[in-house]
Chains A and B, each alone.
Chain A
Amino acid sequence: MKQQWHSHSFRAMGSRISLWLEYENDDEACGALRQTEAMFAVAETRLTRFSDTSELSRLNQRPEQWVPVSNVLWGMAGLAVARAQETNGLFDPTTLPALEAAGYGRSFELLPAQPILPSGSGEPCGGWRQIRFNREQQAIWLPEGVRLDMGGIGKGVTAQQAASFLSQWGACLVDAGGDLVAGDGPTGNVGWPVAISAPWSQPDETPRDLLRLWLRNGTLATSGVDYRRWGNAHHLIDPRTGRPAETDVITASVLAADASRAEAWATAALIAGLDDGLEMLEAAELPAALVDERQRVYMTEKMYPLVM
Chain B
Amino acid sequence: MKITMSMKNMSMRVIMIKSRKPKRNLGMLKLGVAVSSMAATWLGTNWLAQQDGGMAVAETAVFTPQQPTNSFNLPPIPTIVAPTGGTAPQQDRRSVAPTTQNPVIIPTIAAPHLQQLQVTTQDGSFTLDLSPIPAAQAPVFNQPIARSRSSR
Contacts and interface: CB of A to CB of B under 8 A. Distances in A.
Contacts, number: 202
B149 A228 contact: no
B11 to A, nearest CB: 14
Contacts of B107: 27-28, 30-31
B66 interface: no
A173 interface: yes
B139 A35 contact: no
B132 A39 contact: no
A168 B93 CA distance: 6
Contact of B147 (A48, A51, A196, A224): A196
Nearest to A16: B152
B122 interface: yes
Interface stretch (A1-9, A97-105, A122-130, A293-301): A1-9
Given A38-B44, A71-B51, A194 B147 contact: yes
A31 B104 contact: yes
B93 A180 contact: no
Interface in A238-292: 251, 253
Given A34-B42, A167-B89, A45 B47 contact: no
Contacts of B134: 26
B132 A196 contact: no
B144 A31 contact: no
A244 B132 CA distance: 43
A175 B146 contact: yes
A32 B104 contact: yes
A222 B126 contact: no
A32 B41 CA distance: 10
B89 to A, nearest CB: 5
B138 interface: yes
A130 to B, nearest CB: 25
Contacts of A32: 104
A5 B152 contact: no
Nearest to A254: B148
| B122, B129, B146 — most chain A CB neighbours (10 Å) | B146
Interface residues of A, number: 82
Nearest to A174: B146
Interface in B75-116: 89-90, 93, 96, 98-99, 102, 104-107
A307 interface: no
A256 to B, nearest CB: 12
A194 B137 CA distance: 18
Contacts of B57: 42, 46
Nearest to B54: A71
A262 to B, nearest CB: 10
A221 to B, nearest CB: 7
22 contacts: A27-B132, A35-B42, A35-B104, A36-B44, A38-B42, A41-B128, A42-B57, A42-B121, A46-B121, A71-B53, A161-B51, A170-B98, A180-B146, A193-B141, A193-B142, A194-B146, A201-B149, A207-B147, A222-B149, A223-B150, A224-B150, A228-B152
Interface of A: 4-8, 10, 14-16, 18, 20, 23, 25-39, 41-42, 44-46, 48, 51, 53-55, 70-72, 75, 152, 155, 161, 164-165, 167-170, 173, 175, 177-180, 183, 186, 189, 192-197, 199, 201, 203, 207, 209, 212, 220-228, 251, 253
Listed from nearest, the 6 A-B pairs whose CB atoms lie closest are: A224-B150, A31-B104, A195-B144, A45-B124, A7-B136, A178-B149
